[in-house]
Amino acid sequence: MRVATDISPAALAIPCFSSKSAPRNVSGIIANQRDSFAKYRPGYIICIVGILQTIVSQKRQTLKNVKASLPLRYIREKIADAGSTRDFRSAVKRPPNTAIRLIAEIKKASPSQGIIRKNFDHLSIARTYEEKHVDAISVLTEEDFFEGNISFIPQVKKITSRPVLRKDFIFDDYQIFEARAFEADAILLIAAILERNQAAEYLHLARELGLSVLFEIHGQRELEIALSIGVDMVGINNRNLDTLQVDLNTTITLRKFIPTGVIVVSESGIRSRENVMKLEELGVDALLIGSSLMAVPDIGQKIDELRGSP
Protein backbone atom coordinates (compact mmCIF):
# COMPACT_ATOMS: atom_id res chain seq x y z
CA MET A 1 0.00 0.00 0.00
CA ARG A 2 1.38 3.41 -0.94
CA VAL A 3 0.36 6.64 0.75
CA ALA A 4 0.36 9.92 -1.15
CA THR A 5 2.79 12.44 0.28
CA ASP A 6 0.13 15.15 0.53
CA ILE A 7 -1.92 13.13 3.03
CA SER A 8 -1.13 13.56 6.71
CA PRO A 9 -0.90 10.58 9.07
CA ALA A 10 -3.86 11.97 11.04
CA ALA A 11 -6.00 11.93 7.91
CA LEU A 12 -5.18 8.25 7.39
CA ALA A 13 -6.86 7.33 10.70
CA ILE A 14 -4.27 4.58 11.25
CA PRO A 15 -1.39 4.41 13.75
CA CYS A 16 1.78 6.20 12.64
CA PHE A 17 5.11 6.97 14.29
CA SER A 18 8.48 8.33 13.28
CA SER A 19 11.29 6.02 12.24
CA LYS A 20 13.36 7.32 15.15
CA SER A 21 10.82 6.08 17.70
CA ALA A 22 9.89 2.84 15.97
CA PRO A 23 10.37 -0.51 17.73
CA ARG A 24 13.73 -1.96 16.77
CA ASN A 25 12.66 -4.51 14.16
CA VAL A 26 10.06 -2.46 12.29
CA SER A 27 12.32 -1.61 9.35
CA GLY A 28 13.01 -5.29 8.71
CA ILE A 29 9.34 -6.13 8.94
CA ILE A 30 8.49 -3.41 6.45
CA ALA A 31 10.91 -5.00 4.02
CA ASN A 32 9.23 -8.38 4.45
CA GLN A 33 5.62 -7.24 4.87
CA ARG A 34 5.19 -4.35 2.47
CA ASP A 35 1.48 -5.00 2.08
CA SER A 36 0.99 -4.46 5.82
CA PHE A 37 2.82 -1.15 6.08
CA ALA A 38 3.02 2.16 4.29
CA LYS A 39 5.72 4.81 4.51
CA TYR A 40 4.73 8.45 4.69
CA ARG A 41 7.22 11.17 3.71
CA PRO A 42 8.60 13.68 4.51
CA GLY A 43 9.90 12.72 7.96
CA TYR A 44 9.77 8.96 7.35
CA ILE A 45 6.55 8.18 9.18
CA ILE A 46 5.55 4.53 9.38
CA CYS A 47 1.83 3.72 9.37
CA ILE A 48 0.64 0.29 10.47
CA VAL A 49 -2.27 -1.66 9.04
CA GLY A 50 -3.24 -5.23 10.00
CA ILE A 51 -0.43 -5.59 12.52
CA LEU A 52 -1.74 -8.49 14.64
CA GLN A 53 -0.90 -11.30 12.25
CA THR A 54 2.49 -9.75 11.56
CA ILE A 55 3.28 -9.80 15.28
CA VAL A 56 2.13 -13.42 15.63
CA SER A 57 4.12 -14.49 12.57
CA GLN A 58 7.27 -12.89 13.95
CA LYS A 59 6.60 -14.40 17.38
CA ARG A 60 6.39 -17.90 15.87
CA GLN A 61 9.88 -17.50 14.47
CA THR A 62 11.22 -16.14 17.74
CA LEU A 63 9.61 -18.98 19.70
CA LYS A 64 11.38 -21.59 17.58
CA ASN A 65 14.71 -20.19 18.73
CA VAL A 66 13.57 -20.02 22.35
CA LYS A 67 12.47 -23.67 22.32
CA ALA A 68 15.78 -24.72 20.81
CA SER A 69 17.79 -22.92 23.48
CA LEU A 70 15.55 -23.88 26.42
CA PRO A 71 13.67 -27.15 25.78
CA LEU A 72 10.43 -27.87 27.60
CA ARG A 73 12.04 -30.47 29.88
CA TYR A 74 14.22 -27.72 31.41
CA ILE A 75 11.21 -25.45 31.74
CA ARG A 76 9.37 -28.21 33.63
CA GLU A 77 12.35 -28.64 35.96
CA LYS A 78 12.33 -24.91 36.63
CA ILE A 79 8.61 -25.06 37.46
CA ALA A 80 9.26 -27.84 39.96
CA ASP A 81 11.56 -25.49 41.86
CA ALA A 82 9.22 -22.50 41.65
CA GLY A 83 7.23 -21.31 44.62
CA SER A 84 3.49 -20.77 44.76
CA THR A 85 1.81 -18.08 42.69
CA ARG A 86 0.23 -14.89 43.99
CA ASP A 87 -3.53 -14.63 43.55
CA PHE A 88 -3.97 -12.27 40.60
CA ARG A 89 -7.70 -12.85 40.25
CA SER A 90 -8.47 -11.95 43.86
CA ALA A 91 -6.25 -8.88 43.61
CA VAL A 92 -8.24 -7.41 40.72
CA LYS A 93 -11.73 -8.45 41.86
CA ARG A 94 -13.62 -5.39 43.00
CA PRO A 95 -15.86 -5.83 46.05
CA PRO A 96 -19.12 -3.84 46.11
CA ASN A 97 -18.85 -0.13 46.92
CA THR A 98 -15.08 0.00 46.51
CA ALA A 99 -12.81 1.80 44.08
CA ILE A 100 -11.98 0.26 40.73
CA ARG A 101 -8.79 -1.84 40.77
CA LEU A 102 -5.62 -0.87 38.91
CA ILE A 103 -3.39 -3.19 36.90
CA ALA A 104 -0.39 -1.00 36.06
CA GLU A 105 1.72 -2.01 33.09
CA ILE A 106 5.45 -2.04 32.42
CA LYS A 107 5.95 -1.38 28.72
CA LYS A 108 8.74 0.29 26.79
CA ALA A 109 7.26 0.39 23.28
CA SER A 110 4.24 -0.53 21.20
CA PRO A 111 3.44 -0.89 17.47
CA SER A 112 1.02 2.03 17.65
CA GLN A 113 3.37 4.49 19.38
CA GLY A 114 6.90 3.22 18.92
CA ILE A 115 9.16 3.94 21.90
CA ILE A 116 6.88 5.21 24.66
CA ARG A 117 9.40 5.62 27.46
CA LYS A 118 12.92 6.50 26.37
CA ASN A 119 14.54 6.30 29.80
CA PHE A 120 12.99 2.92 30.45
CA ASP A 121 13.87 1.19 33.73
CA HIS A 122 11.47 -1.63 34.54
CA LEU A 123 12.69 -1.96 38.12
CA SER A 124 12.26 1.73 38.86
CA ILE A 125 8.75 1.56 37.42
CA ALA A 126 7.96 -1.50 39.54
CA ARG A 127 9.13 0.32 42.68
CA THR A 128 6.81 3.21 41.88
CA TYR A 129 3.92 0.80 41.43
CA GLU A 130 4.69 -0.81 44.77
CA GLU A 131 4.86 2.58 46.49
CA LYS A 132 1.53 3.57 44.96
CA HIS A 133 -0.12 0.32 46.02
CA VAL A 134 -1.39 -0.70 42.60
CA ASP A 135 -3.40 -3.90 42.75
CA ALA A 136 -1.42 -5.88 40.17
CA ILE A 137 1.32 -5.40 37.58
CA SER A 138 1.29 -6.32 33.90
CA VAL A 139 4.67 -6.96 32.26
CA LEU A 140 5.06 -6.94 28.49
CA THR A 141 7.37 -9.80 27.54
CA GLU A 142 7.11 -9.61 23.74
CA GLU A 143 10.56 -8.61 22.49
CA ASP A 144 10.31 -7.43 18.89
CA PHE A 145 7.43 -4.96 18.94
CA PHE A 146 7.16 -4.03 22.62
CA GLU A 147 10.84 -4.43 23.58
CA GLY A 148 9.95 -6.50 26.61
CA ASN A 149 11.60 -9.59 28.04
CA ILE A 150 10.35 -12.50 30.11
CA SER A 151 13.31 -12.03 32.47
CA PHE A 152 11.61 -8.83 33.68
CA ILE A 153 9.01 -10.89 35.55
CA PRO A 154 11.22 -12.54 38.22
CA GLN A 155 13.16 -9.29 38.59
CA VAL A 156 9.97 -7.34 39.22
CA LYS A 157 8.64 -9.95 41.64
CA LYS A 158 11.73 -9.65 43.80
CA ILE A 159 10.98 -6.00 44.56
CA THR A 160 7.18 -5.97 44.72
CA SER A 161 4.48 -7.85 46.58
CA ARG A 162 1.97 -7.48 43.73
CA PRO A 163 0.82 -10.35 41.50
CA VAL A 164 2.26 -10.14 38.00
CA LEU A 165 0.59 -10.80 34.66
CA ARG A 166 2.63 -12.00 31.70
CA LYS A 167 1.30 -10.00 28.76
CA ASP A 168 2.30 -11.53 25.45
CA PHE A 169 0.92 -13.23 22.35
CA ILE A 170 0.40 -16.80 23.53
CA PHE A 171 -0.43 -19.45 20.92
CA ASP A 172 1.69 -22.41 22.10
CA ASP A 173 1.43 -24.37 25.34
CA TYR A 174 5.20 -23.97 25.77
CA GLN A 175 4.60 -20.27 26.51
CA ILE A 176 2.27 -21.15 29.38
CA PHE A 177 4.83 -23.45 30.98
CA GLU A 178 7.43 -20.75 30.34
CA ALA A 179 5.30 -18.14 32.10
CA ARG A 180 5.01 -20.34 35.18
CA ALA A 181 8.72 -21.12 35.15
CA PHE A 182 9.56 -17.41 35.05
CA GLU A 183 7.32 -16.73 38.06
CA ALA A 184 4.29 -15.15 36.39
CA ASP A 185 1.10 -15.29 38.45
CA ALA A 186 -1.24 -14.85 35.50
CA ILE A 187 -1.21 -14.93 31.72
CA LEU A 188 -3.08 -13.14 28.97
CA LEU A 189 -4.87 -15.25 26.38
CA ILE A 190 -6.07 -13.36 23.30
CA ALA A 191 -9.23 -14.69 21.68
CA ALA A 192 -8.31 -13.20 18.30
CA ILE A 193 -5.32 -15.51 17.85
CA LEU A 194 -6.75 -18.74 19.29
CA GLU A 195 -9.24 -21.32 18.09
CA ARG A 196 -11.99 -22.13 20.60
CA ASN A 197 -10.65 -25.60 21.46
CA GLN A 198 -7.14 -24.24 21.79
CA ALA A 199 -8.35 -21.49 24.13
CA ALA A 200 -10.18 -24.04 26.29
CA GLU A 201 -7.10 -26.26 26.46
CA TYR A 202 -4.82 -23.37 27.42
CA LEU A 203 -7.27 -22.14 30.05
CA HIS A 204 -7.28 -25.59 31.64
CA LEU A 205 -3.48 -25.92 31.49
CA ALA A 206 -2.90 -22.52 33.04
CA ARG A 207 -5.23 -23.30 35.92
CA GLU A 208 -3.50 -26.64 36.50
CA LEU A 209 -0.23 -24.73 36.81
CA GLY A 210 -1.73 -22.30 39.31
CA LEU A 211 -1.96 -19.37 36.90
CA SER A 212 -4.87 -16.97 36.67
CA VAL A 213 -6.05 -16.25 33.12
CA LEU A 214 -7.12 -12.88 31.76
CA PHE A 215 -8.97 -13.73 28.55
CA GLU A 216 -8.89 -10.82 26.12
CA ILE A 217 -11.79 -10.07 23.79
CA HIS A 218 -12.78 -7.24 21.45
CA GLY A 219 -16.26 -8.24 20.25
CA GLN A 220 -19.42 -10.11 21.19
CA ARG A 221 -18.50 -13.29 19.33
CA GLU A 222 -15.24 -13.54 21.27
CA LEU A 223 -17.15 -12.91 24.50
CA GLU A 224 -19.50 -15.80 23.69
CA ILE A 225 -16.50 -18.08 23.21
CA ALA A 226 -14.99 -16.90 26.51
CA LEU A 227 -18.15 -17.65 28.46
CA SER A 228 -18.68 -21.00 26.73
CA ILE A 229 -15.28 -22.32 27.86
CA GLY A 230 -15.63 -21.16 31.47
CA VAL A 231 -13.53 -18.00 31.53
CA ASP A 232 -13.91 -16.19 34.86
CA MET A 233 -11.88 -13.05 34.07
CA VAL A 234 -12.49 -11.15 30.83
CA GLY A 235 -10.30 -8.36 29.50
CA ILE A 236 -12.16 -6.08 27.11
CA ASN A 237 -9.57 -4.55 24.81
CA ASN A 238 -10.73 -1.15 23.62
CA ARG A 239 -8.04 -1.33 20.95
CA ASN A 240 -8.77 -3.08 17.67
CA LEU A 241 -5.75 -5.36 17.27
CA ASP A 242 -5.84 -5.12 13.48
CA THR A 243 -6.08 -1.34 13.09
CA LEU A 244 -4.81 -0.42 16.59
CA GLN A 245 -7.57 2.20 16.88
CA VAL A 246 -9.02 2.75 20.37
CA ASP A 247 -12.64 3.23 21.42
CA LEU A 248 -13.79 3.08 25.06
CA ASN A 249 -17.30 2.35 23.81
CA THR A 250 -16.08 -1.22 23.28
CA THR A 251 -16.18 -1.78 27.04
CA ILE A 252 -19.43 0.15 27.40
CA THR A 253 -21.09 -2.02 24.73
CA LEU A 254 -19.85 -5.41 25.93
CA ARG A 255 -20.08 -4.92 29.71
CA LYS A 256 -23.84 -5.52 29.82
CA PHE A 257 -23.45 -9.00 28.30
CA ILE A 258 -21.06 -10.25 30.99
CA PRO A 259 -22.74 -12.16 33.83
CA THR A 260 -22.25 -11.60 37.53
CA GLY A 261 -19.28 -13.54 38.87
CA VAL A 262 -17.05 -12.91 35.87
CA ILE A 263 -14.38 -10.30 36.56
CA VAL A 264 -14.30 -7.50 33.99
CA VAL A 265 -11.08 -5.69 33.11
CA SER A 266 -11.04 -2.76 30.68
CA GLU A 267 -7.84 -2.44 28.64
CA SER A 268 -6.37 0.35 26.48
CA GLY A 269 -7.21 4.00 25.95
CA ILE A 270 -7.75 4.93 29.60
CA ARG A 271 -6.11 8.32 29.92
CA SER A 272 -8.07 10.51 32.33
CA ARG A 273 -9.91 10.57 35.64
CA GLU A 274 -13.09 11.04 33.60
CA ASN A 275 -12.40 7.76 31.74
CA VAL A 276 -11.83 5.97 35.05
CA MET A 277 -15.05 7.28 36.59
CA LYS A 278 -17.08 6.30 33.54
CA LEU A 279 -15.82 2.71 33.67
CA GLU A 280 -16.19 2.57 37.45
CA GLU A 281 -19.87 3.51 37.10
CA LEU A 282 -20.33 0.64 34.63
CA GLY A 283 -19.28 -1.85 37.27
CA VAL A 284 -15.93 -2.69 35.70
CA ASP A 285 -13.67 -4.45 38.22
CA ALA A 286 -10.25 -3.29 37.06
CA LEU A 287 -8.39 -1.18 34.55
CA LEU A 288 -5.22 -2.26 32.75
CA ILE A 289 -3.29 0.93 32.04
CA GLY A 290 0.07 1.09 30.28
CA SER A 291 0.78 3.81 27.74
CA SER A 292 -0.84 6.58 29.80
CA LEU A 293 1.60 5.80 32.62
CA MET A 294 4.66 5.16 30.48
CA ALA A 295 4.29 8.39 28.51
CA VAL A 296 4.55 10.80 31.46
CA PRO A 297 7.66 11.88 33.40
CA ASP A 298 6.06 11.32 36.83
CA ILE A 299 4.27 7.97 36.88
CA GLY A 300 3.24 8.27 40.52
CA GLN A 301 1.60 11.62 39.89
CA LYS A 302 -0.34 10.17 36.95
CA ILE A 303 -1.60 7.32 39.12
CA ASP A 304 -2.83 9.86 41.67
CA GLU A 305 -4.56 11.80 38.90
CA LEU A 306 -6.33 8.71 37.57
CA ARG A 307 -7.45 7.76 41.07
CA GLY A 308 -8.61 11.28 41.87
CA SER A 309 -6.18 11.50 44.78
CA PRO A 310 -5.27 14.99 46.06
Provide the CA 64 distance to its chain's centre, in angstroms.
22
Sign of torsion, CA 166 147 175 243?
A: positive
User: Is 164 within 8 Å of 154 (Cβ atoms)?
Assistant: no
DSSP string, the chain: ----TTS-HHHHTS-EEEGGGS-TTHHHHHHH-GGGEEEETTTTEEEESSHHHHHHHHHHHHHHHHHHHS-HHHHHHHHHT--PPP-HHHHH---TTSPPEEEEEE-SEETTTEES-SS--HHHHHHHHHHTT-SEEEEE--STTT---TTHHHHHHHH--S-EEEES---SHHHHHHHHHTT-SEEEEEGGGS-HHHHHHHHHHHHHTT-EEEEEESSHHHHHHHHHTT-SEEEEE-B-TTT--B-THHHHHHHTTSPTTSEEEEES---SHHHHHHHHHTT--EEEE-HHHHTSS-HHHHHHHHHT--
Task: Tell which residue, 147, 205, 194, has the closest CA to residue 26.
Answer: 147
Give catalytic residues, as residue numbers: 105, 107, 167, 216, 237, 267-268
